[in-house]
Amino acid sequence: MRAALTRPKAGAMALLVPAVVFILLLFLYPFGYGLYMSLTDPGGAFSLGNYTRFFQDARDFRTIGVTLGISVPVTLIAVALAVPLAYHMRRGVPGERLISFFLIVPVTLGTVLISEGMLTFMGPNGWLNQLIMALGLSKTPVRFTHNYAGVAISVGLQGFPYAFLMLLGYISGINPDLEKASQMLGANKWQTFWKVLFPLMVPGIAIAFCLNFVMAFSVFPSAVLLGQPSGPQRVIAYAAYQWAFEKFNFNAAAAISMIMAVIELVVIAFILAWRSKMYKGASIVGKG
């Protein structure tokens, strides 16, 4: 049972002070500093030059498309696979603990180890290509590294378990009585899923999509290790990094950071709009 909330006293407000100081000092201040840096030239005078430079420099400007071209399809596929699988597992399946263990492993290991390992496993002489050639699917090794496929697979391997575990937690929280009620009223499984459960899952799907997208959009080790980071897989986060730490132009780098944040927020706003269109407070009774 949820405890009744009380009006705050000064003491309770004081408890928030460390967290407020933390967020001001380590998040809002750096963000404001980044915004300020992005709007000034190296001499400190106000300038929009960092932004105009980014949009005029074809090599930089195209990183937006490159990054979206990786993160959007990969996130869509990860979430689209995760929804039916989490739905299937909502009441538990045999070997559930083992399955969730294997899913959490890549999340724990992180993108660096997975990308590094993929170089050998999916390389021209790796096990995967040995298997493909032994099965006769291809006569020559298939290229999974240093191209789009490598980056997409690496990002997807990270994203899928994340989306899956997130949605599993969410879907198993939906009140099972609703499903029973729907079936008792004569709906088949398909109708129950689309008309009853799916609308209730929408908020969970929206959040899973947003968080996955944030990860996929800003991650760069996969692109650097498994793609061609100076060419077709130069992602926006890597461009920002290069401006800051290879060309030591913090102002240009800050502008790219701000552009990243804006793109990110636009995508999230888009998802939240989809969510409110699909979901009109239906689960007030829906969540057990």
88 phi-psi bin (left φ>0, alpha ψ -120 to 50, beta other):
alpha
Separation CA 224–CA 30 (nearest Å): 26
Contact residues for 279 (Cβ-Cβ < 8 A; gap 6+)? 199, 200, 202, 203
Contacting another protein (CB under 8 A), which of 63, 75, 160, 279? 160
Q: In the complex, what is the shortest distance from the CB of residue 131 to another protein, in angstroms, rounded to a whole number?
A: 9
Contacting another protein (CB under 8 A), which of 70, 208, 242, 283? 208
Q: Which stretch binds another protein (CB under 8 A): 45-53, 55-63, 80-88, 273-281?
A: 80-88
User: Interface with another protein includes 84 (CB under 8 A)?
Assistant: yes
User: Interface with another protein includes 83 (CB under 8 A)?
Assistant: no
Q: Which stretch binds another protein (CB under 8 A): 10-18, 58-66, 177-185, 275-283?
A: 10-18
Handedness of CA 44, 45, 46, 51 (dihedral sign): negative
Q: In the complex, what is the shortest distance from the CB of residue 162 to another protein, in angstroms, rounded to a whole number?
A: 5
User: Interface with another protein includes 59 (CB under 8 A)?
Assistant: no
| C-beta neighbour count of 50 within 10 angstroms | 24
User: Interface with another protein includes 120 (CB under 8 A)?
Assistant: yes
Give the angle 208-212-218 at the CA atoms, nearest 5°: 155
Residue type, 220: F
User: Interface with another protein includes 101 (CB under 8 A)?
Assistant: yes
Separation CA 167–CA 74 (nearest Å): 17
User: Interface with another protein includes 273 (CB under 8 A)?
Assistant: no
Q: Locate tokens 């997409």: which residue?
A: 152
Separation CA 174–CA 255 (nearest Å): 43
Separation CA 74–CA 147 (nearest Å): 15
Contacting another protein (CB under 8 A), which of 68, 72, 77, 104? 104
Contacting another protein (CB under 8 A), which of 155, 202, 240, 286? 240
Q: In the complex, what is the shortest distance from the CB of residue 183 to another protein, in angstroms, rounded to a whole number?
A: 11
User: Interface with another protein includes 167 (CB under 8 A)?
Assistant: yes
Per the CB < 8 A criterion, the answer to whether 87 and 192 are in contact is no
Contacting another protein (CB under 8 A), which of 196, 197, 258, 286? 258
Q: Which stretch binds another protein (CB under 8 A): 42-50, 51-59, 108-116, 174-182?
A: 108-116
